[in-house]
């Protein structure tokens, strides 16, 4: 709901009510200002929330000051501009390319009018939260820049059932003859006058094989930035951050999350000014970005989703999980139970043929596994990682019976069939490169970087996207293929395009992302029943925008169970369990060399879309019987894991028994609180440890039964006294407890 009142100065105040949160905007002297955001408040008289900070004479006042305290350098702007008196980080920076004299970039917004509509308008060309008139209301602030020919529409969608605000901005050139250059165009900015010095920034950092580790850092006076310059959202940083107080825990205290629905280079900046006010911004990375805005054209920013929690990081995460699962992911696989799959990559790498795949498929069918995925190496002359990317035709020396016949044989065993592609890449040793070397991203006169023996295709070009759509569609149409793993194994360098004019060079990184979305949209539209799984050397492009097309994502190339605990718990800060692809792999693990029991590997992989990544033909009958039980458990627990509420009980970074890195625990609780699945893992054991774990999210008045032992517990006992898990553990032991309400 969005309420509008009028201030004593005759200007509007907008109170956006989203779930149990409030977001309040005031127009003051024409400036859109941020008054409040956080847990819901009932008052309509909120003018006094505007901070009036005394300042010294060096802080500039507006050109026609109506008082001696309002300054652009301290005002809590909704969308701050550059070069007009606000010296903090700006959300927008514009250069007038038609100016007759030299001038620095400048921008300043003034409110002109507003529109309030039920529902949420679709703003191409991006993925975004989808919602109807029953789900949300949208406020659009129509703003002008009095010193420019640009207009700004600020979109705010308040979700009714979630404490979440979706924000984006549309910048339009209203001139008939003048041209502007956008040097920065962020999606959202929030100013908080009350947070520092008690605030900390939570974000997710990593690299290949150790994505999305949680880091929590105290704010400082000055700027902190989480960003990617790689042309993709990256393994190094995720397009998410949260502001919390020092007292905030998983279940208590304030948390404000901001998540950017974008797959390219991004920036999230947090700056504390000398008065203790904190500005949090998210959007496209300005470095390497410049967008030419010709007469009559507009530029739409990606969407940022802001979530408010007064009950810690846990509630913030659960809001993101439900919102993204129900209102971001699309298609029939959002609520449909995902099949248990086996991928041949760690079983065979490049060395396989149709007979080997069928031998794995036969064992898989016997174990109850439901899909075989043929990974890298099935196309062109691909016998290692040095050739054939772009040559999307079947290697008949490996698949001797032909792809349609192979798929039919796998289907006859009762399994679905999936296949791996890396569409955005091209090998120098390939037929495609011989025919079209100009299809690479490259800068004339500059040597091309090479990574993994491959270059990046220029998917800003429509002809390249057409080629990829036609060749991929040809493969998918040739056989009963139910699943695609879409990989992306290197980042963008020497980003030049042969078809763009020189003055649009700053658009290439962003146009690449738009080209990706166009191609993904065409594929998912043409094959609506396809289950698409994203991948990028593991979780290198695991972002909300990719979930719009692929409802599950390969969480990391590191399949070691102990390493996956950190990765999966960090991923859960924003992303729902249903989006995490988690596989049981071989032991000793191929990445770390660590040996872990098959039981533990199965329990850790039971945290999302479940599957296997090993050679079933080499396992003992005892191991296969355990796999049968694991597959049955996955189906048994599917709903509570993938549709329930997640509670992170113990992080590996928490101190337990005076030490960190010793254990971890988490649980899922069904929405009606009738069922729970609890997991406890001992990462590194010690002498005589004592483990009591207090559960969360249960009905305190209900009685729950452990389905394995038959023992009954009251919900309040489990949450207040906890489970006594003290026992003799070895490194890597895991315990899973399934509870149902009596």
Q: Where are the beta strands (DSSP E) in 110-221?
A: 110-118, 136-144, 150-159, 164-173, 180-192, 199-205, 213-218
pLDDT at 732: 94
pLDDT at 81: 93
CATH of 341-642, one of 3.20.20.105, 3.30.70.20, 3.20.20.70, 3.40.630.30: 3.20.20.70
pLDDT at 200: 95
* Domain limits, the chain: 2-327, 341-642, 646-741
pLDDT at 544: 98
Q: Are 388 and 379 in contact (CB under 8 A)?
A: yes
pLDDT at 65: 60
59, two tokens:
């802080």
DSSP string for residues in 727-740: S---TT-EEEEEEE
Q: Are 94 and 150 in contact (CB under 8 A)?
A: yes
DSSP string for residues in 17-66: EETTEEEEEEEETTEEEEEEEEE----S--GGGS------TTSPPPSS-S
Per residue in 509-540, pLDDT tens?
A: 999 999 999 999 999 999 999 999 999 999 99
DSSP-based helix, strand, coil % in the chain, nearest 5: 20, 35, 45
Active-site residues, by number, are 487, 557
N residues, the chain: 742
| Closest C-alpha among 267, 283, 274, 270 to residue 200 | 270
**In the chain, count of helices (H) and strands (E)?**
12, 40
Fold of 2-327: Beta-galactosidase; Chain A, domain 5 (2.70.98)
Cα→Cα distances 683→560, 566, 580, 581, 598, Å: 12, 11, 21, 21, 15
Who's near 597: CB < 8 A, 6+ residues apart?
Answer: 587, 732, 733
| Closest C-alpha among 145, 63, 151, 75 to residue 106 | 145
Evaluate the CA torsion angle 723, 728, 732, 738 in order and state its sign: negative
Residue 620 burial (10 A CB sphere; 0-12, 13-18, 19+): exposed
637, two tokens:
């627990």
32, two tokens:
């859109």
Q: Are 569 and 582 in contact (CB under 8 A)?
A: no
Helix 462-478, helix 508-526: angle, nearest 10: 30
CATH of 646-741, one of 1.20.1440.120, 3.20.20.370, 2.60.40.10, 2.60.40.1180: 2.60.40.1180
How crowded is the C-beta side of 400, counted as CA atoms within 13 Å? 8
DSSP string for residues in 645-662: EEEEEE-TTSEETTEESS
Does the model's pTM come out above 0.85?
Answer: yes
Q: Is 364 helix (H, G, I), strand (E, B) or coil?
A: helix
Residue 663 burial (10 A CB sphere; 0-12, 13-18, 19+): buried
Q: Rounded to whole angstroms, how far apart are CA atoms 39 and 233?
A: 30
Q: Look at strands 609-613 and 110-118 and give their pairing.
A: unpaired
179, two tokens:
């041209």
pLDDT at 196: 61
Q: What does DSSP assign to residue 340?
A: P
pLDDT at 43: 83
Q: What does DSSP assign to residue 487?
A: -
Q: Rounded to whole angstroms, how far apart are CA atoms 649 and 608?
A: 17
- Residues of the chain where predicted confidence (pLDDT) is lower than 50: none
pLDDT at 689: 83
How crowded is the C-beta side of 110, counted as CA atoms within 13 Å? 11
β-sheet bridge partners, residue 140: 115, 155
Radius of gyration over every alpha carbon of the chain, rounded to an integer in angstroms: 27
Residue 359 CA, chain-centre distance (Å), reads 37
Q: Is 621 helix (H, G, I), strand (E, B) or coil?
A: helix
Long-range (24+ apart) CB contacts under 8 A made by 65-73 are 66/29, 70/28, 70/29, 72/31, 72/108
Q: What does DSSP assign to residue 504?
A: G
């Amino acid at each position: 709901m969005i309420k509008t009142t009028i201030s004593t100065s005759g200007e509007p105040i907008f109170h956006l009510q989203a779930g149990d949160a409030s977001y309040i905007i005031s127009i003051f002297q024409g400036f859109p200002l941020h008054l409040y955001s956080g847990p819901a408040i009932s008052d309509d008289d909120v003018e006094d929330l505007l901070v009036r900070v005394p300042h010294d004479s060096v802080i500039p006042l507006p050109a026609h000051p109506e008082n001696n305290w309002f300054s652009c350098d301290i005002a809590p702007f909704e969308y701050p501009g550059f070069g007009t008196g606000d010296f903090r980080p700006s959300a927008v920076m514009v250069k007038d390319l038609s100016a007759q004299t030299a001038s620095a970039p400048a921008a300043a917004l003034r409110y002109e009018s507003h529109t309030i509509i039920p529902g949420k308008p679709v703003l191409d060309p991006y993925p975004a939260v989808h919602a109807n008139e029953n789900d949300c209301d949208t406020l659009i602030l129509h703003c002008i820049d009095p010193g420019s020919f640009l207009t700004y529409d600020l979109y705010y969608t308040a979700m009714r059932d979630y404490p979440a605000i979706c924000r984006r901005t549309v910048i339009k050139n209203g001139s008939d003859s003048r041209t502007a250059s956008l040097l920065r165009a962020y999606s959202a900015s929030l100013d908080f006058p009350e947070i520092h010095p008690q605030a900390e920034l939570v974000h997710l950092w990593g690299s290949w094989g150790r994505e999305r580790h949680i880091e929590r850092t105290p704010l400082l006076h000055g700027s902190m930035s989480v960003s990617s310059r790689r042309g993709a959202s990256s393994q190094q940083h995720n397009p998410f951050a949260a502001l919390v107080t020092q007292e905030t825990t998983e279940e208590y205290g304030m948390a404000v999350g901001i998540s950017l629905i974008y797959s390219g280079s991004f920036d999230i900046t947090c700056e504390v000014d000398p008065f203790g006010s904190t500005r949090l911004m998210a959007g496209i990375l300005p470095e390497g970005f410049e967008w030419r805005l010709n007469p009559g054209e507009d530029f739409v920013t990606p969407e940022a989703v802001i979530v408010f929690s007064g009950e810690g990081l846990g509630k913030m995460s659960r809001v993101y999980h439900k919102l993204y699962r129900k209102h971001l992911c699309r298609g029939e696989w959002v609520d449909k139970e995902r099949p248990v799959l086996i991928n041949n990559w760690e079983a065979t790498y490049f060395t396989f043929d149709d007979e080997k795949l069928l031998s794995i498929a036969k064992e898989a069918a016997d174990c109850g596994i439901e899909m075989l995925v043929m990974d890298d190496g099935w196309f062109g002359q691909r016998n290692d990682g040095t050739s054939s990317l772009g040559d999307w035709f079947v290697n008949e020396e490996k698949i001797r019976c032909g792809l349609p016949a192979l798929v039919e044989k796998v289907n006859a065993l009762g399994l679905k069939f999936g296949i791996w592609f890396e569409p955005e890449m091209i090998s120098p040793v390939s037929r495609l490169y011989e025919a079209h070397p100009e299809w690479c991203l490259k800068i004339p006169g500059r040597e091309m970087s090479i990574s993994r023996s491959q270059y990046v295709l220029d998917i800003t070009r429509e002809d390249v996207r057409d080629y990829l759509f036609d060749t991929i569609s040809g493969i998918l149409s040739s056989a009963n293929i139910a699943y695609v793993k879409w990989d992306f194994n290197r980042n963008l360098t020497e980003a030049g395009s042969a078809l763009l004019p020189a003055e649009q060079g700053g658009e290439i990184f962003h146009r690449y992302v738009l080209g990706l979305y166009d191609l993904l949209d065409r594929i998912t539209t043409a094959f609506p029943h396809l289950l698409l799984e994203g991948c990028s050397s593991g979780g290198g492009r695991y972002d909300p925008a990719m979930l719009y097309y692929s409802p599950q994502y390969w969480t990391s190339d590191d399949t070691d169970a102990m390493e996956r605990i950190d990765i999966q718990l960090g991923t859960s800060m924003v992303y729902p369990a249903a989006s995490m692809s988690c596989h049981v792999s071989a032991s000793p693990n191929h990445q770390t060399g660590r040996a872990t029991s098959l039981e533990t590997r199965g329990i850790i992989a039971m945290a999302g879309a479940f599957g296997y990544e090993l050679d079933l033909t080499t396992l003992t009958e005892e191991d296969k019987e355990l796999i049968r039980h694991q597959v049955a458990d996955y189906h048994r627990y599917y709903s509570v894991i993938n549709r329930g509420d997640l509670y992170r009980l113990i992080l590996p970074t928490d101190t337990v028994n005076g030490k960190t890195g010793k254990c971890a625990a988490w649980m899922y609780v069904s929405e009606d609180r009738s069922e729970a699945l609890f997991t406890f893992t001992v990462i590194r054991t010690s002498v005589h440890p004592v483990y009591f774990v207090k559960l969360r999210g249960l009905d305190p008045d209900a009685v729950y039964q452990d389905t394995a032992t038959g023992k009954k517990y009251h919900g309040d006992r489990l949450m207040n006294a906890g489970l006594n898990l003290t026992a003799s553990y070895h490194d890597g032991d895991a315990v899973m407890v399934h509870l149902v309400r009596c």
